[in-house]
Structure 1
Amino acid sequence: MKNKELFDETVKILVNAYLNNSLVQGNCHACAVGNIIAAKMAIKYDRNLKWMGQQVAWPQVFVTVSFEIAQVRRPWNLTGAAKAQITATGYSWQELAQIEYAFERAPWSKTPEERMFNGLMAVVEVLSQIHEMDENTKSATKGLFLKD
């Protein structure tokens, strides 16, 4: 596996966000990428799941709009706060864009919780490609997201 430490840390962040209900599709503060950045930069959330004391800048580089199929990518905006937020994760902007797209484009479900779960399973698929995971690790990782 490529960069096991980064993989493990990312999965831990996402599992905690999912189990604590601080993971929300369509919210740049609380989506998969938003949670990864917030955790890596020690950004706290307010009760509305918005970052406290920090501007969300990473969507200036890439964003998946819920009503569009394609992702908007603007790599020329990889400067300043956007660059700092993306760099803090240990992933390239392209890798984070893949993670975000997978999470946001998850299949619709009957409940928001099911959709979050579907989004996370899609993110695990992307992480398995980024980190060159074997099938056993991928299956075990997906099991971490099961709620009792």
Structure 2
Amino acid sequence: MKNKELYDKTIKILVNAYLNDSLVQGNCHACAVGNIIAANLNIKYDQDLKWINRQVAWSQVFVTLSNKIAQVKRPWAYTGPAREQINATGYAWPELARLEYAFERAPRGKTKEERIFNGLMAVVEVLTQIHEIDEQTKVATRKLFQKA
């Protein structure tokens, strides 16, 4: 297992975002990566799930557009505020790019709720690969995303 503490912290952020309905696909403020960055930088959200007093900069480095299959990557933009936002997570930008792609490209499902859940399960899968998490921990992690 690699960096279990970071894995646990990231899962906790995603569980809280999911249970609080603050995850939105196609919204750089409130997608999986947006929530991870916001939590690590103590950025608050407004009622429209936009960051308060902060511009999204990380999406200048990588972004998955809804009308494109491939992810747009601009490593030369990994500077200034984008670097600060990405570095605050404890992940390298290519790792966050994998998380973002998994979340945005998850199977659609029949409802918005199902699509968000599918996206989260895809993110969990990538996180378990990044952190080399064992199967038992992966199964336990998936159970954390059960809504009452």
Q: TM-score range by the shorter chain?
A: over 0.9
1:33-48 matches, within 5 Å, as: 33-48=33-48
Displacement, 1:67? 1.5
Distance (Å, rounded) in 1 between the aligned partners of 2:130 and 2:67 = 26
Aligned position for 1:108: 108
Structure 1 vs Structure 2 CA RMSD: 0.4
1:1-148 matches, within 5 Å, as: 1-148=1-148
Displacement, 1:110? 1.2
Distance (Å, rounded) in 2 between the aligned partners of 1:87 and 1:19 = 25
Distance (Å, rounded) in 1 between the aligned partners of 2:76 and 2:106 = 27
* Superimposed CA distance per residue, residues 19-68 of structure 1 (whole angstroms, 9 cap, x where no aligned partner): 00000000000000000000000000000000000000000000000121
* Identity score, percent: 74
Q: Show structure 2 runs of 5+ residues with no match.
A: none
Structure 1 residue matching 2:63: 3-state secondary structure: strand
- Calculate the TM-score normalised by the size of structure 1: 0.99
Distance (Å, rounded) in 1 between the aligned partners of 2:108 and 2:38 = 26
Q: Show structure 1 runs of 5+ residues with no match.
A: none
- Calculate the TM-score normalised by the size of structure 2: 0.99
Number of aligned residues = 148
